[in-house]
Amino acid sequence: MFRGKKYQDAAKQIEKNTQYDAAEGFGLICKTASAKFDETVELHVKLGVDSRHADQQVRGAIVLPNGTGKNVRVLVFAKGDKAEAAKAAGADYVGEMDLVEKIQKENWFDFDVVVATPDMMGVVGRLGKVLGPKGLMPSPKSGTVTPDAAKAVQEAKAGKVEYRLDKTNIIHCPIGKVSFGAEKLGENFNTLLDAIVKAKPASSKGQYIKSCVVASTMGPGIRINPSKVLNASSAE
């Protein structure tokens, strides 16, 4: 695969087969980021589970201590007082059937998170085929189907991220922007990885975290030593 000069220059500063500790790894990400925009930093964790089995699914949500650096647009399906509370909490869009029809008829997706109160799921269920593939379908597991829509809006705006296993048993999740600096990225990383470790299925056997790689939008992947992180989280 052809890579640009900036990518190649950054890759030269990273030892491919080395597993860095978190502080050093994020220091390298900040040092080698060369794009003209503030790059997003993503964490990719390969797990020793089999996502084909229902009892080995790994999924959840966590509020990152330093947020994601992204302006999150939140859509809420609610009515009455709960709709008003969601608006007051900062929801970008609040509605009922009007929003369902807008999504269905106009193929409208100008939002990043969908929250719904339980009584609205009969209506929201009609959107399963369009919201599901985009990872936008509200779910009790991720805290986006809740009677307290206002709290869910506040958490989404504060930097709540949802993590879930894909078909290749890898979790991909944003943990901030390069401008955060190594320390804040490290704090977000530790919080997310700790949540993933705590979500380990009881049926999981052998090594749970196979590998950890972090990368900025335009940069090369940097391997983080998972054992150091695991030791830190088990010592807490």
Mean pLDDT of 101-125: 94
Cα 61 to Cα 26, 27, 120: the distances in Å are 22, 26, 21
Band (pLDDT 50/70/90 cuts) for residue 8 is low
CA atoms within 13 A on the CB side of 166: 11
Asked if pLDDT for residue 233 goes beyond 50, the answer is no
Q: Is residue 15 classed exposed, middle or buried when 0-12, 13-18 and 19+ CB atoms within 10 A define those classes?
A: exposed
Q: Model confidence over 32-88: pLDDT tens digits?
A: 887 889 999 999 999 999 888 888 889 888 999 999 998 899 999 999 999 999 999
Contact 18, 223 (CB under 8 A): yes
pLDDT of res. 236: 46
Cα 32 to Cα 19, 43, 58: the distances in Å are 17, 17, 32
Least confident of 6-10, 188-192, 197-201: 6-10
pTM of the predicted protein model: 0.78
Asked if pLDDT for residue 12 goes beyond 70, the answer is no
**Planar angle of CA 162, 121, 58, nearest 5 degrees:** 30
Cα 195 to Cα 31, 162, 169, 177, 226: the distances in Å are 27, 11, 16, 20, 14
Q: Helix, strand, coil % (nearest 5) of the chain?
A: 45, 20, 35
**Planar angle of CA 9, 11, 15, nearest 5 degrees:** 135
- In sequence order, which residues have a C-beta less than 8 Å from that of residue 199 and are 6 or more positions away? 58, 59, 60
Pair type for strands 74-77 and 113-116: parallel
Asked if pLDDT for residue 14 goes beyond 50, the answer is yes
Give the whole-number percent of the chain exceeding pLDDT 90.
60
More confident residue, 236 or 144: 144
Dihedrals phi, psi of 66, to nearest 5 degrees = -110, 15
pLDDT of res. 235: 46
Mean pLDDT of 154-179: 92
Which residue(s) pair with 76 in the sheet? 94, 115
Q: Which domains does the chain have, with CATH numbers?
A: 5-68+160-235 (3.30.190.20), 74-158 (3.40.50.790)
Q: Model confidence over 117-161: pLDDT tens digits?
A: 999 999 999 999 999 988 899 999 888 999 999 999 999 999 899
H helices, E strands: number in the chain? 9, 9
Where are the extended beta strands (E) located within the chain?
40-47, 59-63, 74-77, 93-95, 113-116, 160-164, 170-177, 209-216, 222-224
Q: Model confidence over 194-208: pLDDT tens digits?
A: 999 999 998 888 889
Q: Give which of 208, 220, 131, 122 is closest to 171, Cα–Cα.
A: 208
